[in-house]
Structure 1
Amino acid sequence: MKAVPTAVRDRLGWVGLAVRIVLALVWGWASLSKIAHPLTFVQAVRAYDATPEWLSKAIGYGLPVLELSIAILLLVGLITRYAAAVSVVLLLVFLVGIVQAAARNIKIECGCFGGGGVTTSTAYTLDILRDLGLIVLSVYLVVFALTKFSVDEALIKSEMVPGLTAKQAKSEKNVRRYRAARAAAEVELRHKQRYLALGTAAVVVLVSLIAVGVQGGRAKIDTSAVASTNASATTGVRVGNVQSPVTVDLYEDPQCPICKQLEQSGLGTDLEAKTKATNIKVNYHLMSFLDSSSNGNKYSSRAANALYCASDTSAAVFVKLHDIMYGKTSGKDNQPAEGTKGVPDSTLIAWGKQAGVSSATFSTCVSGQQHKGLVTAVTEEASKAGVSGTPTVFVAGKRIGAVNAVPTVAQIDAAITKALASAKSTAAPSPTPAATTSGSVSPSVSSSPSVSSSKSVSSSKSASASSSASASSSK
């Protein structure tokens, strides 16, 4: 193979230095933003709907530290070729993930630089082009790994054998010694490079594994901050008679414009009527993933917190505040437009009073975000349940419509009707009273009085089991 001229090698080294710095900054930025919010990044990984739960957590907790390790290695120029090769592999995985999400019409942010998860708008083309550009830069370092101002370069220089002067080169003995010294130095250099690569790789793997445990601990939700009078992390706010035969689980974000459209198309009125008729019970899961769409004031989290504060008063007050948030006042939508600043806490408190909140603690609960832990817990449980967008609706444990497709009120109503019919058909029939004549007891009853009693008990157990199964499915 023809040797690369020194001048060309120097130019490639300077270009490599610039590429190293760019990639190091990109990986460093990406990793630190994810390390700061481990739970959010796990939810972003789940949103791709491509990995089992254990792997989603391993990626969510361990990947950011691996990315940080790559950033450090590239910044100092240590085992540059291997670090760049890992960079290529990770970027290819990210690229495949984005392409499959786009092909499946899953609306998510890539989560490449923190945040991520479900969204109402996407930028897949930009994400794909960016990843392709970073792959090209990483491949450059795989091919031309020796760069300026790097540990790799310093290591090579430390094993260099001084060349012979013109006078020394005239001696065959000196030439043989020089060649032997160069051969020995090359062997020593390969040994050092091999041991350094293996040792560094072992450290990176060990640190990444430790990070899984550490980040997992940081991602735990404080259960003491989740307690609420009429709400829980798994059920959200429970509205309706617990004995109602059918459970509807409704997942929404206060900032979600499509949720507002569904509510204003008649969903709230429809569910309220069926709830009052004790046909259904509704679990409202108010999530917060669109904080970035409220121009920095985290409207999703604050509005969801206010709704849970209202539920402390009663489920009825919660429903009224819920309707106000998704409704209109003086002909104008109360929900702030996506990308604009959300309303302040004072407006949320005023809406609460409009909904009938009488407790003096409501304003404190809103301004102090006392149910912030509950909002986080509900969002996490929704992520675990495979909710990758809002609104998402389950009726009797079955998702309405395709994943990431917005259900209509008609679809939800049809599913409720079907579930009610199924619940009615599976309920055990009541025993028919035996006919009597002239005050005498029918032979069928007198011959086996215990059968009627047994059927009655069985019917009661069956109805109870049906109600229990419905409640379980909502979780």
Structure 2
Amino acid sequence: MGKSNRNTDRRQAAEALRRQQAAEARRRKIVFGVAIGAAVVLIGGLLAWGIWMNSEPEYEVNDPAAQVTDTFGVQIGDGPVQVDLYIDYMCPACNQFESAYAEQIQSWVDDGSVTVNYHPLAILDRLSAGTEYSSRAAAAAVCAADVGEQQFLDYTLALYANQPAENTSGLTDQELIAIGTDDVGLGADWQSCVESEKYRGWVQEGNTSATSDQGVTGTPTAKVNGEVVENSAFADEVQAAIDAG
């Protein structure tokens, strides 16, 4: 092979290498651009999520006139065994739990065996088409607790009897008030409490406390003397604690 041919071959090889390197650079640039774009989308999504999470109005936190715990529970009864129930008024399983145990809970309260701390939560606000039904119902129930322990229990049962389905807008404030006045006999002061959203902030704080500090991940959650118990074994666990004295 002559010198001229060897030079030609070297030039062709160099040109091929240059094209290969240029193609590789373009590929890296595209991959880098895609990665940056994905990161921007991810960051934008996280920012939007954060903005949405922080877009919930901040309500004034008013302490109820009713007897409550420092963990945002409405206190019913004064017995030695401490029972904590974390409920959501849009939660079908909570409705089933209340239907199964309401009569037994009432009997324990009546005979002085237990103190039941109801924690009305708003975990399922996200399933009420933007109306924050769980928060509104919980705040109305706390207003009922101001009237009396029995009124709180009666209103809780009435709300479950009229429970809306998940992924609906839930009951309106007017319907919540009608249930209280017509079914439970709650009066004008209670209605004013509901209309002013007096306890929305207290419910918000309670929801944060339960999910952040008290280890509650869903509803219903039941605790007996501070220990989480299986819902199916609730009555047996409470009775065992009562018998242990």
TM-score by length of 1: 0.44
2:223 matched to 1:394? yes
- Tell me which amino acid in the other structure corresponds to 1:309: C
Q: Report the equivalent of 2:242.
A: 420
Q: CA RMSD in A?
A: 2.3
1 CA distance for matches of 2:119 and 2:31? 52
Q: Which amino acid aligns with 2:63?
A: A
Please, which runs of 5 or more residues in structure 1 have no aligned partner?
41-220, 328-333, 402-406, 424-475
The letter for the 1-side match of 2:132 is K
For these two proteins, the number of residue pairs brought into alignment is 224
2:38 matched to 1:22?
yes
Q: 1:290 to 1:270 in 2, by over 3 A?
A: same
Per-residue CA distance 1:280-319 (angstroms, 9 max, x = gap): 1211000111111111111111111111111111111111
Matched residue, 2:74 = 237
2:14 aligns with none
1:322 positional shift: 0.2
1:245-284 map, 5 Å: 245-264=80-99, 266-284=100-118
Counterpart-to-counterpart distance in 1, 2:55 and 2:191: 28
> How big is each residue's C-alpha offset from its partner over 1:45-66, in whole Å with a ceiling of 9 and x where there is no partner?
xxxxxxxxxxxxxxxxxxxxxx
SS in structure 2 at match of 1:393: strand
Give 1:238's aligned amino acid: Q
Is 1:372 aligned to residue 194 of structure 2? no
2:175 to 347, 351, 354: 347
Please state if 1:226 is matched with 2:46: no
Asked whether 1:288 is paired with 2:122, we answer yes
Give the Cα separation in 2 of the matches to 1:290 and 1:351. Answer: 21
TM-score (norm 2): 0.83
State the identity %: 31
Residues 396-433 of structure 1: per-residue CA shift (max 9 Å, x gap)? 222112xxxxx12xx2221122111211xxxxxxxxxx
Paired AA for residue 251 in structure 1: Y
What SS does structure 2 have at the residue aligned with 1:272?
helix
- In the alignment, the residues of structure 2 paired with residue 11 and residue 394 of structure 1 have an alpha-carbon distance, to the nearest angstrom, of 58
User: Structure 1 residues 254, 262: closer, same or farther in 2, change over 3 A?
Assistant: same
Deviations 1:211-259 (A, max 9, x none): xxxxxxxxxx87x62310113551411111x2x1212111111111111
Unaligned runs of 5+ in 2: 1-16
The structure-2 alpha-carbon separation of the partners of 1:377 and 1:232, relative to structure 1 and needing over 3 Å to count, comes to farther
Structure 1 counterpart of 2:173, one-letter code? D
Mapped partners of 1:283, 1:303: distance in 2: 17
Deviation at 1:394, TM superposition (A): 1.0
Letter in 1 for 2:119: H
| Residue in structure 2 matched with residue 194 of structure 1 by the alignment | none
SS in structure 1 opposite 2:123? coil
Measure the CA separation in 2 of the matches of 1:381 and 1:262. 22
1-structure distance, mates of 2:146, 2:37: 53
Q: Quote the Cα distance in structure 1 between the aligned partners of 2:135 and 2:155.
A: 15
Q: Which has the higher contact order (CA 8 A, sep 6+)?
A: 2
Partners of 1:226 and 1:232 within 8 A in 2: no
